[in-house]
Structure 1
Amino acid sequence: MPPLLALPFPAIDPVALAIGPITIKWYALAYIAGLIGGWYYARRLVMADSLWGVVRRPSVADIDDLVVWVALGVVLGGRIGYVLFYNLPLYLSDPVEIFAIRNGGMSFHGGFLGAILAFLLFARVRRLNGYNLLDIGAVVVPIGLFFGRIANFVNGELWGRVAPDFPYAVVFPTGGPLPRHPSQLYEAATEGLLLFIVMALAVRRFGFRRPGLLGGIFVLGYALARTACEFFREPDRQLGFLFGDNLGPLGGGITMGMLLCVPMALVGLAYIVLAARGWTRPRHPVEAPAAADRAVEA
């Protein structure tokens, strides 16, 4: 029986659909929802004349092709990042486990770096402005973050720290008998919904006329939101707290998630300053394609 100040974990099957030996999990659907939502939003952004000025924008066809590149970057980067940052000794002892993605293990920071690499490579191949592609990604990524964190909650993973006096604490099946913060929902609300609103307001205010600005805002915003949520999230069991023992309202120390957010925050702040000063603008702006051309591409 759960403690008095706790909510029972909702009995949600992590498998959304099963047809014979084929199973589709909510986590996979979260990735799909994030990609489709981001793809649709990105198409709308590149068709909005008021956001671009004279900066050359990608075409709708470019966005359609870019989705495949970014999906590969996120999956490969997320897995490699988890292997390197969170459980390297295990995978060195059993390298075959690196490919067992079905057992879980994805890193946002690794997926983030993989997505950046995909954006930059695509920009180079298509002769587009890499900063602008990254800015588009910055505006749409919170959609995927929201669905991803909801899927973490459904899976009963990445739960929060023990919270015996919190009225909305949850007893997770894999988290022991004690009530814990539903930190996945905190991350969905901050890294997903709140950051989506911030980026929507930013793109409405600044558009894509200052390459790198929106990307900097997103990177800084994510680093701050993730760091705040880390104070409520249980650190990975194999790592624990890296150092410090009594930081934040719930005690504990510095986690790997916090540590990885430090360079993100610095890079985000740097790009905000550089973009605001105009140092990231192309020296020879190219006029955007005519409306008739975009209609044909669409």
Structure 2
Amino acid sequence: WEGGIHFFEKPPANVDSTIILGAYYFAYFLVFLVGWIAFRRWVAKGKVGISKREITDLGIYVLLGVMLGAKLVYVLFYNLEFYLQNPSQIFLNWSGMASHGAFLGVTVAILLFARSFKRNALELFDRCALIAPFGAIFIRSANFLNGELYGRSTDVDNPLAMRFLMKDGQGRDLYAKLGPGQSGGLQAAGDNAGQAGSELYALVTHEGGEELAPADYYLEPVSAHHGWELIPEESFLSVKSFWPIRQDGETAKTKTLVSRVVTDPSHPSQLYQLGVSGVLLLLVMVIVAKRAKVKGEIFAWFLMLYGVSRIAMEFFRQQDYQRAGGLFDYFSMGQILSLALIVSGLFLLKRLKPNSAPTTPPSEQEAEPTSNTEGE
């Protein structure tokens, strides 16, 4: 699986290319498909107070809310400096998305839809809260297939530990940056030593710090176990900005440098989130839905439970490189935003009145617009 659906032969590694329909965006399609099917069944059974023709309208509102909200929050909270300098790259296929931004976008979209169509917003929030766990199921599956958002380093003896291919800023595997004439994949330590009069060097970490040292001294022949690969000098600068290697003096001009291309043994945190924020949360939300007494209660519990699950899972997930100092040494941006979800859920639950309208919606006939409304 190459992280996308390919209808044609994949371009060579040394040719810049972009996958149009990747696993990530296909996962979003699956979430919307589940939501569309669920809403049609709920409307048919009279469990939600909108008409069948309004399902498509709601879907368009939510789709725009997800895309705009997820992009906006990612740009503002995760990589603002870069996108201020490169605004044209915000909506490129490889730029990031933030799940918390998706929640914000959906919230605004539903409020706008409810106001435009004169429907109950809390009722719609409750139903969307039952669909949201599928987002974690499908999207975290795509993250795993793409080898992105992997976890923190763990012991090599951990039976769940995995190695993931490191990527550049555009989500492309670093091993694909080999120049023309060089073989793809990981290479043994001495394969290219001495090529073009250069010596293979690698970054070595020890108790005294880090230093550049001959790679054939520190790396064994089975280099795939160590995660190093020959990187041509002309492409090293673009790699360095994401995975720095300290250079001494004229090292970059006289040595052939190498860079990490696979991680240390790491937690497959995407699968953890799939199980906890996806499958487990879905089961809990079904129970909550059966016991809910007022409109908005399901949504409030979802905000709190997702926030708690995300905070817990972030302890296994590798932090974003943009946030690696001060407060963020202890709390990730995802945890801070999740705390805001928990507070919002508590506030909403406190505001809900026990004697307010029950979660049972009006009948299908009540939900259908009149003929006069349809003509407007």
Please state if 1:178 is matched with 2:264. yes
The aligned counterpart of 1:250 is none
Report the CA distance shift for 1:163/1:200 in structure 2 as closer, same or farther (over 3 A). Answer: same
1:34 corresponds to which of 10, 31, 34: 31
**SS, match of residue 18 in structure 1:** coil
Aligned-pair CA distance for 1:16 = 1.9
Q: 1:84 to 1:128 in 2, by over 3 A?
A: same
Determine if the alignment matches structure 1 residue 76 to structure 2 residue 68: yes
For the residue of structure 2 that corresponds to 1:180, the secondary structure is coil
| Letter paired with 2:120 | N
Aligned position for 1:255: 332
Question: What is the DSSP-based 3-state SS (H/G/I as helix, E as strand, rest coil) of the residue aligned with 2:327?
Answer: coil
Q: CA deviation digits over 1:80-137, x for unaligned, max 9? A: 110001000111122212232x113000111110111111100111000111111111
Q: In the alignment, does 2:10 pair up with 1:18?
A: no
Of residues 238, 243, 255, the one that matches 2:327 is 243
Which residue in the other structure is 2:89 paired with? 97
Kept in 2, the 8 Å contact 1:79–1:106? The answer is yes
**Length-normalised TM-score, structure 1:** 0.81
> Cα offset for 1:254?
0.6
Which amino acid is 1:272 matched to?
L
Q: Distance in 2 between matches of 1:265 and 1:153?
A: 26
- 47, 50, 54: which one aligns with 1:58: 50
Compared CA separation, residues 93 and 216, structure 1 to 2 (3 A): same
How does 1:91-130 map onto structure 2 within 5 Å? 91-100=83-92, 102-130=93-121
Number of matched pairs:
266
Contact 2:43–2:364 (CA<8 Å) still a contact in 1? no
Partner Cα separation in structure 2 for residue 118 and residue 130 of structure 1: 10
- What is the aligned partner in structure 1 of residue 307 from structure 2? 223
Is contact 1:78-1:114 (8 Å) kept?
A: yes
The aligned residue for residue 201 of structure 1 is 287
Code of the aligned partner of 1:271: L
- List alignment gaps of at least 5 residues for structure 2: 10-17, 167-260, 370-376
Query: Residues 244 and 14 of structure 1: is their aligned pair in 2 closer, same or farther, counting only changes over 3 Å?
Result: closer
Contact 1:156 1:173 in 2 (8 A): yes
1:141 alignment counterpart: 132
- Residue 293 of structure 1 and its aligned partner are, at CA, apart by 6.2
- CA deviation after TM superposition for structure 1 residue 276, in Å: 5.3
Cα pair 1:42 1:140 within 8 Å, conserved: no
Partner of 1:156: 147
**Distance change in 2, residues 1:278/1:236 (3 Å):** farther
Q: Return the index of the structure with the highest Cα Rg.
A: 2
Contact 1:183–1:232, Cα closer than 8 Å, also in 2: yes
What does residue 354 of structure 2 align with?
277
TM-score between the two structures when normalised by the length of structure 2: 0.65
Q: Is contact 1:241-1:254 (8 Å) kept? A: no
Distance 1:157 1:22, change over 3 A: closer
Query: What letter matches 1:162 in structure 2?
Result: S
Extract structure 1 runs of 4+ deviating beyond 6 A: 291-294
- Paired position in structure 2 for 1:85: 77
Q: Tell me by how many angstroms 1:244 deviates.
A: 6.6
Q: 1:244 to 1:78 in 2, by over 3 A?
A: closer
In 1, distance between residues paired with 2:143 and 2:51?
A: 34
**Quick check: 1:34–1:145 contact (8 Å CA) kept in 2?**
no
**Equivalent position of 1:8 in the other structure:** none
Q: CA deviation at 1:22?
A: 7.4
Which secondary structure state, in structure 2, belongs to the residue aligned with residue 264 of structure 1? helix
Q: Bigger CA drift: 25-34 or 267-276?
A: 267-276
Structure 1 gap segments, 5+ residues each: 1-11, 246-252
> Conserved in 2, the CA contact under 8 Å of 1:242 and 1:254?
no
State how far apart, in whole Å, the 2-side matches of 1:88 and 1:259 are: 17
